[in-house]
Chain A
Amino acid sequence: MSLLMLITDNWYDIRDLGNVSHEILYQLDRVLPYSLVYIIAALMGFVASFLIFVLPSQLFVGVLGERKIIGRMQSRYGPNRVGKFGLLQPIADAIKLIQKEALTPKAADKAVMYIAPIVFVAPAVLLFAVVPFGGHSVFADIPVSIVYFIAISGLPVLAAFIGGWSHANKYSLFGSMRIVAMTISYEVPLVLSLLSVVLITGTMRLGGHDGIDGIVQWQRDYHIWLIFLQPLAFLIYFFCVSAELNRTPTDIAEAESEIVAGYLTEYSGMKWGLFYGMDIGYALAAAAFASTVFLGGWSMFGLDRWIPSWLIIIAKTHLFYFIFIWTRGTLPRLRIDQLMTFAWKFLLPLSLANLLVIATEKVIWNKATDGNFDNFWVYIFAAVNILLSVAAVFIWARLLGYRPEATPKRPRLVNTASGYVPIPAPSREVR
């Protein structure tokens, strides 16, 4: 019973850490000047979101977990020497990176080369400012969180670009060109897919709680996750974000086997470490954003009354991050022109169609319920959208000329060394 008594929405209620921070700030506000409290709030937000969530996740899920899981996928153990289960491996890695010599090529633009990793790190920290970890524990629940997220997540590309440009290395230049070209292409379907989310929820705020509109609150109100309502938007978001983050099927900007890590070629030591660590940071941010927008954020169909909301969002984030690890462990890499084709010919039309469907549904919903927007219609839309999405993906792929059955997967067998054996008519289509 004592546990139940804790759950009261008071400052000692551990389900929502926002309560305690509000209480601290409220008490501080009575003794300290406003500007100082402002700075303390900023520090608290940073400490809470970054040092408690992002950094450990980065080290133990991003670095260690990723290597462990990929190791298992590749039928090997992964790091298991430093500390118990290799738990100290990320720290050992960091120490190694710090004491490594940071090389600077002679022809490099030194100032730009030094600035680029710093520019790369800052947005990763900023991104977590808008991710809600609970009804009240969100550092900046600004009304334009989604736009904020898109804006800030565009900045690291700039850092990667100038970093790659500054070395005067041809491989880096390739990487820079590729990352910018790819980001520009994938930003369009990404924004369109998020736009359809904004359209149906009618808000650009990520969090929200009882009384304040927000995407998480919308999903709580209608008892449905947006992934069910808009599966297509979720898919498009996933593809676009994995392209922008350089995760494996789309990691052409830092392709090791082609352009030798691209824009990172000449970076060494901790400068490289910052890029590497923050790549994971961005992936975590994208995962947290995806679980907020599409997977219900900190809500869990009422379970969030009993389980601390920050645990729910952290679990969802890591679950989403696992998909990134999974694709990295299993998929080969696409070529740049194939990626561009995929963005412009496949994702863009689909995201436009998705937007059209969602807009239509919103109008129907409005008209049918006289602006009441009740639950019933949402479930109908979800069913319709799931069917439509599957159909759209397959039909559009077919229309673009995708014929998996046209490619023979086994060679022909002959028994004698008889020279050239012509392909039997009808001749196969060459894809």
Chain B
Amino acid sequence: MNALKSEPFVLNIGPQHPSTHGVFRVKVTVDGERIIDAEMVMGYLHRSMEKLAEERTYTQNIPFTDRTDYLSSMSNNLGYCLAVEKLATIEVPDRGSAIRVIMAEFQRIASHCMAAGAFTNDTGAWQTPVMWAFREREKILDLFEMTCGARLTCNYMRIGGVAFDLPKEFEPHARKLVDTLPGFVDELEGLMSENEIFLARTRGVAVVPHELAANASLAGPMLRGSGIAWDIRKADPYCGYEKYDFDIPIGYQGDSFDRFIVRLEEMRQSVKIIKQALDGLPSGPHSTQVPLALRPPKGEAYARVEGPRGELGYYLVSDEGPSPYRFHIRPPSFINLSVLKQMTVGHSVADAIVALGSVDIVVGEIDR
């Protein structure tokens, strides 16, 4: 007896879809509600940053890095500045490094707030967790505004340090915030991690086995969610991360829920780091003097930082000119996204949305 046949049909998720976090498009072929094929279409937000950077000086490129991953501009600034410093062998004063760590970790918390909130939104929680997360994110952005005047595209780090020293009122505000943040993480955990429906929607959905995660060169919470303990801050410390005491949270089987709880725990660990950095904040200059028209010696350099989404690498080639000969970014969410097909095929459309949300993409970074 022949079974009833159903015809597969093609469904475009995006580029205008509330859950694609920007203009990103997935062309899925579905059989009923089950996905049998998924094809990613990128480039709707392409701004040609890497090519543009070849025409500008090293300092002028810092604002570009703000606009790649616009949810974690501090980490991007940091990665780029580290790459230039490596290329031109510039020493950063201790205070500059400590401020960089504080800012990068605050940025990680802010970005994870956004990630966790948007992810719960994708599972269908009607705006409540995302609003709670935004409430906390706002406080961090207020700190950024206090320090550098900008909230989203901070442009705070400079080659050789940071643009300005911390204002006087920064420390009390930061300490107050750091004390309340773990409470917020507990709150979100109580709302979502303990929620039966949320568990049902995310447990076992979009599983990335650890072999696949390693082979696909995933990074950040995606990799750690699969149970691989890897963190650039531990494996290849920069900015003096080796001085701070923190743990790497890892998940169990690599499903969406594991990635979610890993992000929540990373927020707690970031708070721990910020506390240590604030306690041991050295005095001294916040930056070294660097010539405005920097001409690094001929050569190439690759610097990587642990951004909120994973290994954020900057590759620079210099030909002794005032602008880089080649500028390339290793965007974590682009590479993390490469396993989307393996994550979604065989699942339903609803699960594909959850899978996409758990990757935590920023389309500005994917398309650059």
Q: Which residues of A contact B (CB under 8 A)?
A: 70, 73-76, 170-171, 174, 248-249, 251-252, 255-260, 328-338, 404, 407-423, 428, 430-431
Contacts and interface: CB of A to CB of B under 8 A. Distances in A.
Given A257-B353, A335-B350, A419-B228, A329 B128 contact: yes
Contacts of A258: 19, 124, 349-350, 353
A257 B18 contact: yes
B265 A417 contact: no
Given A409-B261, A413-B248, A334 B197 contact: yes
A197 to B, nearest CB: 27
B165 interface: no
Given A174-B349, A413-B265, 7 more contacts: A259-B349, A331-B125, A333-B123, A410-B265, A411-B250, A415-B234, A415-B247
Q: Which 9 pairs between the two chains have the least Cβ-Cβ distance?
A: A333-B124, A74-B131, A411-B249, A417-B235, A413-B247, A417-B234, A332-B125, A332-B123, A414-B229
Interface string B10-43: 0100000111000000000000010000000000
Nearest to A428: B252
Interface in B137-189: 189
A419 B231 CA distance: 9
A73 B135 CA distance: 12
20 contacts: A73-B128, A248-B124, A255-B124, A257-B121, A257-B122, A257-B353, A258-B349, A258-B353, A259-B349, A328-B126, A332-B197, A333-B350, A334-B200, A335-B351, A336-B33, A411-B252, A420-B227, A423-B252, A428-B252, A430-B253
Contacts of B189: 409
Contact of A423 (B224, B253, B350): B253
Interface string B341-354: 00000001111010
B203 interface: yes
B262 interface: yes
A73 B132 CA distance: 9
A337 B193 CA distance: 21
Contacts of A430: 204, 253
Contacts of B126: 70, 248, 328-329
A334 B201 contact: yes
B191 interface: yes
A218 B345 CA distance: 55
B252 A408 contact: yes
B6 to A, nearest CB: 12
Contacts of A328: 126
Nearest to B266: A411
A337 B262 CA distance: 27
A409 B251 CA distance: 10
Interface in B309-367: 348-351, 353
Contacts of A170: 9, 11
A74 B127 contact: yes
B350 A330 contact: no
A258 B353 CA distance: 6
A409 B131 contact: no
Contact of A335 (B17, B191, B250, B348): B348
B11 A418 contact: no
A260 B18 contact: yes
A142 to B, nearest CB: 38
Contact of A421 (B11, B17, B229, B262): B229
A350 B120 CA distance: 30
A279 B208 CA distance: 39
B279 interface: no
Contacts of B224: 411
B85 interface: no
Contacts of B227: 412, 420-423
Given A409-B194, A412-B252, A422-B227, A332 B348 contact: no
Contacts of A421: 227-229, 250
A420 B349 contact: no
B227 to A, nearest CB: 6
Contacts of B261: 409-411
B69 interface: no
Contacts of A257: 18-19, 121-124, 353
B9 to A, nearest CB: 7
Nearest to A404: B196
Contacts of B248: 413-417
A337 B350 CA distance: 10
Contacts of A410: 261, 265
B229 A249 contact: no
Nearest to B255: A430
A110 to B, nearest CB: 23
B197 to A, nearest CB: 5
Contacts of B195: 331-332
Given A260-B18, A411-B250, A413-B247, A332 B230 contact: no
B290 interface: no
Contacts of B120: 332
Contacts of B292: none
B270 to A, nearest CB: 14
Contacts of A335: 200-201, 348, 350-351
B198 interface: yes
Contacts of B228: 419-421
Interface in B209-230: 210, 214, 224, 226-230
A212 B297 CA distance: 99
| Most chain B beta carbons < 10 A, residue from A170, A259, A260, A328 | A259
A338 B122 CA distance: 16
A67 to B, nearest CB: 11
B258 interface: yes
B259 to A, nearest CB: 10
| Most chain B beta carbons < 10 A, residue from A260, A328, A330, A412 | A412
A257 B203 CA distance: 19
Nearest to B211: A420
Nearest to A422: B227
A252 B350 contact: yes
Given A74-B132, A335-B348, A335-B350, A330 B191 contact: yes
Contacts of B52: none
Contacts of A338: 200-201
Interface in B86-127: 120-127
| Most chain A beta carbons < 10 A, residue from B33, B203, B249, B353 | B33
B249 to A, nearest CB: 4
A73 B199 CA distance: 21
A255 B122 CA distance: 10
Contact of B265 (A171, A411, A420): A411
